[in-house]
Structure 1
Amino acid sequence: MLADIADRRRPAADALKDWGLAHRFAGSGDRAGIASLVYDALRRRASAAWIMGSETPRAVLIGALRLQQGLAAPSVAALFSGERFAPAPLTDDERARLETATLEGAPPEIAGDAPAFVLPELAAALGDDLIPELRALARRAPLDLRVNALRGSREAVLPALEAFGAAPTPHAPLGLRVPVGADGRGPALHVEAEFLEGWYEIQDEGSQLAALLADPEPGETLVDLCAGGGGKTLALAAATGNRGRLIATDGDPRRLAPIHERLRRSGAQAEVRTPRGGKGRADVLADLDGTVDRVLVDAPCTGTGTWRRNPDAKWRLRPGSLANRLAEQAAVLDRAARLVRPGGRIVYVTCSLLPAENDGAVAGLLARTGGALAPVPAEAVLAAGPSSLAEAVRRTGHGVQMSPLRTGTDGFYVAVLEKRA
C-alpha cells in the first residue's frame, strides 16, 4: 500500500479500501492495524528514510516503527521474523541503522517530515518553533467531540462517555477528548446511542474554537459559505440556540450531501441551498447580497494544519495546489464581501499554517475592496473564546493561528473583518 500511495499519488484511504476489498479474509482488527502502520509510516516518511538510508516502503516502515512507535531494534526484529505473514528478517545493515542512526544533521524537511517547497512559508509562520511544530504535526491526532448544546450540557453527556475515558478538552467549552488506542484509533463512537440521538458530533477542538470565535448572535442572518458536511453549521446553530436565520451552502454540491442527516440528528435548523451543476448555474445566494450579518468562510485550503489526521496529503501537495487554493480563497472572500451588510462581519477560517492562505488572503481582500472592510483586532476576536486560548494562540498580522504545539489542536487560522457602515 505504501508503494501504491507513492507511485500513484493517491489518498491513503483509497489504497486501504482497495486492499481491504481484495483481501476480504483480513478481519477488522487486521485492517485497523495495517491502517495504523500505513499512516504512521506516512507521518514519518522522510525522517524514517533518512535513518534507514533508503526510501523503499520497507525501509520507511522500519524507520517509522522506531521513530513513531518508539520500538527498539530487538522489538522490530521480533516483528520481522519471516514467519507466516511476517516480513523477512532484518538485514545486518537494517539492524545497525536501527541501533545507531540519528536525525542529527538532517535538513529541516527531513527532521520535520514536510515537503521542502513549503518550508519558507511555514518558517515565516512558525519561526523558531518550525521543527517542534512539524514534529507535533507528525504525531497522531486526538479524538475530539463537540457536545451539542441543543440537546444538553457537557456535564450531562460526560457520564455516558466516561467508559471511553472522555474528559473535557483544554480550551473548547463544549469539547470532550477521548483517548486513542495503541494503534492510533479511537472507539467507534458513531454507533453509540448518544451519537445517533445527536448529543455530540466528532469535531477537532480547533474546528470547535473557530466556530466559537465566529461569535454568532441570536437573531442574526448567518451564512456558512463553504459548509461542506456541515460541522461548523451545526456549531453555529447550537451557539445561537436555533434563534437566527442560518443558510448553508457550498460551491461543490457533493460536499453538502452529509449535512441533511446531520441537521436532522442534531436538531439544528438551517436552510441548505445546493447549487446546480454547470457553468450557467444560478447564484443561490443572490437574494441575500448586502443583508447578511455574519458570513463564515471556512475556505478551501491546502490543509497543512491537518497533517496529523491526513499525513498522506502533505506528500501529495504540489506548488500548483497552493496556487489553485489561493484563487479559490479569493473567489469565496469576494463573494462574502458582497453578501455582508454594512456593519456586518466576515469570519475567515482555514485549516492551514501557510501565511499566503491566511494573512495573505485577507490582505488581498482588503486591497480589492478599497477600504470597505477593516480587520477586527485579535483581542476582540479572542474575547469570544476562553482565556486559555488567548494565552496559547499566535497572533498574526490580521488574525490568530492555532497549532498542535501551541494549542493542541489542528492548525486553524481565524480572522474577522467588519464592513464599514
Structure 2
Amino acid sequence: MTPAARLQTSIEILDAIAAAAREGGAPADAIFAEAMRARRYAGSKDRRAIRAHVYDAIRAARSAPASGRAAMLALVDVQPDLAALFDGSGYGPAPITDDEARAETGLAAGALIDLFDALVGEDEHEAMLARAPLDLRANRIKSSQGDLSHLFPDGEAIPGAPDGWRLPPETAAVQHPGYAEGRFEVQDAASQYASAALDTAAGQAIVDLCAGGGGKTLAIASLTGNDAEILACDTNRARLQQLQPRAERAGATRVETRLLNPGQERAMLDDWQGRADRVFVDAPCSGSGTWRRSPELRWRLTPARLDRHRADQAKLIDIGADLVAPGGKLLYAVCSIITREGRAQVDDFLNRHPGWTADAGYLPEGIGRAAGAGFLLTPGHDGCDGFFLARLTSPC
C-alpha cells in the first residue's frame, strides 16, 4: 500500500470506531482487527502504519468526531507531514480544503474532566494519553521477577511490585515460550498493586466477585502459592470461560469458577455468605483510568452510562460485603479516576454499613495518594493505569 492509501484506510476505520462509540458498538481493537481481516492484501508494515495513524488520531480527538476525516485532520495539525498524503490519488484521501471542520482536540470534554478526582490535575493529562508500557507479572507458582529479568533483559523492575517487570510498549511478550508455559502474565502495575493490597495468605477462602477473564484471580493464586480456596465469579459467560485454560497454564489448581445470573447473585452465592476471608470487588466502571490503552473510551462515556456503572458498583460492593466473614476484608477497586466511582462510592458504602472501617497503609511506599477512605493511582504519579482502591474491614 502507498502511504496515502494507508491514511485513507485509517480514515475509514476511524469512521467505524466513531460510529461504534456513539452507538455502544464494538471496541476499537475489534473494529481494527476486523478491518485488517477484510484487507488481507495489507502487509505487516501497512498494518503497523495504519494502526499508528488510527490510534494517534483517537488520542488527538477529545470526543467522538463527526467523521474519521475530521479526526485525521486534527492529527494533521499535530503531525503536519501527514498533509502531503491528502493528495487525491486513486486510493488516497482527497486534498484538504481551507474550510474543512476538524475534530476538537484535548484530553476530554470539559464536562467529563470536571468529574475527575481532585487529585487529577492538568499535570496528569499528557500521561493519561501516552502509550502505556507492557507490564508483566511473574507467576510465583512457576517463576519469579528474577526469571523475567533473564527472559527479557531489556526490561526493568516495576517500583513496589515484587513480581512486576516492565517492557517497552507493544513488546510481543506473549509470543515468548515462557508465556505458554505459564511463567508470567501480562498485567498492568495498577492491577498488581490492587491484587497485593487484598492482603491474601495461604489457607484463606477468597472470592473474586467480578473476575472477568481472571487476571486478578490468577494474581491472587500466585500470591497465595496456589494454597488458597478461590471462587471466581462473573455474569459474563464468554469472559469467565477464558479463566479455566489460563488457570491450567498457570498451575492454579484451586480456582473454582461460577457463572452468576444478573439479579440472582445473592441467591447463587448463598453457600458463601459470611464465609470469605477476603473478597475482591473489581467493579465495572467508566474505564477512565485506562485511556492510555483504550483512548476511544473517552468517546463512549455518557451521563447515563456513568449512572448505570454507579448503580452496578453499589450493588456489587453490597453483595461482596455479605460474603465477608467477621473481621474479614473486602477490596473495592475500579480502573477509574472519577470521584463518583471512587471515593464517593466508598463513602456511601461506609454510611450504609455501620461498623465497617477503611484500612490504611497497604500500598508500597510512594505508590498512590490518599483519596477519601481509599487511594488513587494515576499514570503521571504512579506510572500505571488510573485506579481507585479501598480496603475495608468488616466488624467482628
Shared fold by TM > 0.5? yes
Consecutive unaligned residues in structure 1, runs of 5 or more? 50-54, 99-108, 181-185
Q: What RMSD, in angstroms, separates the aligned Cα atoms of the two structures?
A: 2.6
**Which 10-residue stretch deviates more, 77-86 or 188-197?**
77-86
d(CA) in 1 for partners of 2:263, 2:279: 24
**Contact persistence 1:142–1:179 (CA under 8 A):** yes
- 1:371-401 CA distances to partner (integer Å, 9 max, x unpaired)? 1311112x2x22xx3x232xxx221111010
Identity %: 37
Question: Residue 93 of structure 2 corresponds to which residue in structure 1?
Answer: 87
Instruction: Provide the residue aligned with 1:178 in structure 2.
Output: 167
Between the aligned partners of 1:149 and 1:48, the Cα distance in structure 2 is: 42
Q: Report the equivalent of 1:361.
A: 345
1:140 maps to which residue? Answer: 131
**1:182-220 residue CA offsets vs partner (Å, 9 max, x unmatched):** xxxx13221210000011101111111111111211221
Change (3 A) 1:396 1:65: same
Name the CA shift for 1:281/1:336 in 2 (closer, same or farther; >3 Å): closer
Q: Which of residues 59, 63, 82 is equivalent to 1:76?
A: 82
1:270-327 Cα distance to aligned partner (Å, 9 max, x none): 3323225576688332111111111011111111100111111110111011110111
In 1, Cα distance between the equivalents of 2:291 and 2:174? 23
Matched residues, number: 380
The question of 1:413 aligning with 2:391 is answered no
Distance 1:66 1:170 in 2: 37
Moved more, 254-263 or 193-202: 254-263
2: distance between equivalents of 1:152 and 1:42?
Answer: 37
Shift of residue 262, structure 1, vs aligned partner: 0.8
Q: State the SS of the aligned residue for 1:342.
A: strand
SS in 2 for 1:395: strand
Which SS does the other structure have where 2:202 is aligned? Answer: coil
The answer to whether the aligner puts 1:5 opposite 2:17 as a matched pair is yes
Measured in 1, the distance between the counterparts of 2:15 and 2:64 equals 15
CA, structure 1 residues 66+150, in 2 after alignment: closer, same or farther (shift >3 Å)?
farther
Runs of 5+ consecutive residues of structure 2 not aligned to the other structure = 1-12
Per the alignment, in what secondary structure is the counterpart of residue 272 of structure 1?
strand
**Aligned partners of 2:61, 2:68: CA distance in 1, in Å?**
9
- Measured in 1, the distance between the counterparts of 2:329 and 2:68 equals 49
Q: Which residue of 2 is the match for residue 22 of structure 1?
A: 38
Higher helix share: 1
Please state if 1:192 is matched with 2:176.
yes
- Equivalent positions of 1:105-124 (< 5 A) are 112-122=106-116, 124=117
Instruction: Name the CA shift for 1:258/1:340 in 2 (closer, same or farther; >3 Å).
Output: same
Deviation at 1:82, TM superposition (A): 4.7
| Superposed displacement of residue 155, structure 1 | 1.1
Does residue 234 in structure 1 map to residue 218 in structure 2?
A: yes
Q: Deviations over 1:222-276 (max 9, x none)?
A: 1111111111111111111112211111132332111011101111233323225
SS at match of 2:333: strand
Residue identity opposite 1:12 in structure 2: A
Change (3 A) 1:64 1:270: farther
Q: Residue 136 and residue 225 in structure 1: after superposition, are their counterparts in 2 closer, same or farther (change >3 A)?
A: same
1:330 aligns with 2:314: yes
After the TM superposition, which residues 257-272 of structure 1 pair with which residues of structure 2 at under 5 Å, given as runs? Answer: 257-272=241-256
2:233 equivalent to 1:246: no
Give the secondary structure class of the aligned counterpart of 2:267.
coil
Deviation at 1:57, TM superposition (A): 2.8
Distance 1:403 1:244, change over 3 A: same
Deviation of 1:64 after TM superposition, in Å, equals 2.4
Structure 1 segments of 4+ aligned residues over 6 angstroms from their partners = 278-282
Contact 1:304 1:353 in 2 (8 A): yes
1:160 paired residue number:
151
